[in-house]
Amino acid sequence: MIGLMNARRDAYGLRSLDIERLRTKGGTKWQTPGLPFAAWVADMDFDVAPEIADALRHLVDRSEFGYPDWGGIFALSPAARLFPSRQAERYGWEPRIDRLHDLADVIQGVRATIFHLSQPGDGVVLHLPAYHPFLHTIEEMDRELVPVSWTGDAFDYDDLEQRLAASGGARVWILCHPHNPLGRVFERDELERIADIATRHDLVVISDEIHADLTLPGHAHIPFESLDPTVSARTVTVTSASKAFNLAGLRWAVLHAGHEPMHRALERLPGHYLGAPNIMAVTATVTAWTHGDDWLSAVIDVIDENRRVLPELLTEHLDGARCHPLEATYLAWVDCRSLGLGDDPAHTFRARGVEVNPGNQFSPHGHGAGHVRLNIATSPAILAATVMAMAG
Ligand SMILES: Cc1ncc(COP(=O)(O)O)c(C=O)c1O
Using CA atoms, how far residue 321 sits from 300, 316, 371, in Å, is 24, 10, 9
Give per-residue pLDDT as tens, 263-321: 999 999 988 888 889 999 999 999 999 999 999 999 999 999 999 999 999 999 999 99
Ligand 1 nearest atom to the CA of residue 248, by list position: 9
Contact predicate 218/233, CB 8 Å: no
Residues 268, 314, single domain; the answer is: no
Among 44, 132, 136, 243, the mutation site with the greatest number of ligand 1 atoms within 8 A of its Cβ is: 243
- Determine whether the shortest distance from the Cβ of 248 to ligand 1 is under 6 A: yes
Residues 284, 297, single domain; the answer is: no
Question: Looking at the DSSP assignment, which residues form a beta bridge with residue 334?
Answer: 323, 372
Ligand 1 nearest atom to the CA of residue 108, by list position: 11
Distance between CA atoms of residues 111 and 93, nearest Å: 24
pLDDT for residue 96 is more than 60: yes
Residues 203, 334, single domain; the answer is: no
Residue at 73 is within a domain:
no
Give per-residue pLDDT as tens, 207-223: 999 999 999 999 999 99
Where a domain ends, among 233, 264, 291? Answer: 291
Q: What's the pLDDT score for residue 296?
A: 98
- Determine whether the shortest distance from the Cβ of 107 to ligand 1 is under 6 A: yes
Give per-residue pLDDT as tens, 145-193: 999 999 989 999 999 999 999 877 799 999 999 999 999 999 999 999 9
Residues 374, 311, single domain; the answer is: yes
Encode 301-316: b = buried (16+ Cβ within 10 Å), e = exposed: bbbebbbeebbebbee
Residue 226's closest CA among 239, 211, 210, 207? 207
Ligand 1 nearest atom to the CA of residue 251, by list position: 10
Specify the pTM.
Answer: 0.96
Please give the tally of structural domains in the chain: 2
Residues 86, 226, single domain; the answer is: yes
Residues 298, 285, single domain; the answer is: no
- Interaxial angle between packed helices 157-166 and 188-200, expressed in degrees from 0 to 180 and rounded to the nearest 10: 10
Residues 251, 123, single domain; the answer is: yes
Distance between CA atoms of residues 276 and 342, nearest Å: 46
Q: Closest residue (by CA) to atom 7 of ligand 1? A: 106
- Determine whether the shortest distance from the Cβ of 207 to ligand 1 is under 6 A: no
Q: Closest residue (by CA) to atom 13 of ligand 1? A: 42
Distance between CA atoms of residues 219 and 201, nearest Å: 29
pLDDT for residue 4 is more than 80: no
Contact predicate 285/292, CB 8 Å: no
- Determine whether the shortest distance from the Cβ of 175 to ligand 1 is under 6 A: no
Q: What's the pLDDT score for residue 69?
A: 75
Using CA atoms, how far residue 142 sits from 16, 127, 352, in Å, is 46, 18, 38
Q: Closest residue (by CA) to atom 14 of ligand 1? A: 42
Ligand 1 nearest atom to the CA of residue 331, by list position: 16
Distance between CA atoms of residues 242 and 211, nearest Å: 9
Distance (Å) from CA 328 to ligand 1 centroid: 14
Q: What's the pLDDT score for residue 196?
A: 98
- Determine whether the shortest distance from the Cβ of 191 to ligand 1 is under 6 A: no
The CATH number of whichever domain residue 372 belongs to comes to 3.90.1150.10
132: part of which helix (H) or strand (E)? helix 132-140
* Ramachandran class of 343: left when φ > 0, alpha when ψ lies in -120 to 50, beta otherwise: alpha
Residues 23, 85, single domain; the answer is: no
Distance (Å) from CA 210 to ligand 1 centroid: 7
Backbone φ and ψ for 387, nearest 5 degrees, come out as -65, -40
Among 105, 210, 357, the mutation site with the greatest number of ligand 1 atoms within 8 A of its Cβ is: 210
- Determine whether the shortest distance from the Cβ of 208 to ligand 1 is under 6 A: yes
Where a domain ends, among 291, 310, 326? Answer: 291
Distance (Å) from CA 107 to ligand 1 centroid: 6
Question: Looking at the DSSP assignment, which residues form a beta bridge with residue 148?
Answer: 127
Range of the domain at 186: 78-291
Using CA atoms, how far residue 184 sits from 220, 238, 330, 334, 360, in Å, is 11, 18, 11, 13, 19
Q: What's the pLDDT score for residue 34?
A: 83
Q: For the residues 314-331, what does the mean pLDDT come to? A: 94
Q: Chain centroid to CA 234: how far?
A: 22
Distance between CA atoms of residues 108 and 105, nearest Å: 5
Give per-residue pLDDT as tens, 180-192: 999 999 999 999 9
DSSP string of 71-98, one letter each residue: -TTT---HHHHHHHHHHHHHHS----GG
Distance between CA atoms of residues 241 and 362, nearest Å: 23
Q: For the chain, how far is it from start to end, CA to CA, in angstroms?
A: 38
- Determine whether the shortest distance from the Cβ of 43 to ligand 1 is under 6 A: no
Q: What's the pLDDT score for residue 336?
A: 98
Residues 162, 266, single domain; the answer is: yes
Distance (Å) from CA 226 to ligand 1 centroid: 21
Residue at 278 is within a domain:
yes
Give per-residue pLDDT as tens, 63-74: 999 988 776 656
Q: What's the pLDDT score for residue 169?
A: 78
pLDDT for residue 246 is more than 60: yes
Residue at 14 is within a domain:
yes
Contact predicate 280/247, CB 8 Å: no
- Interaxial angle between packed helices 78-91 and 279-291, expressed in degrees from 0 to 180 and rounded to the nearest 10: 30
Give per-residue pLDDT as tens, 10-56: 989 999 999 999 999 989 999 988 899 999 999 999 999 999 999 99
Encode 332-344: b = buried (16+ Cβ within 10 Å), e = exposed: bbbbbbebebeeb
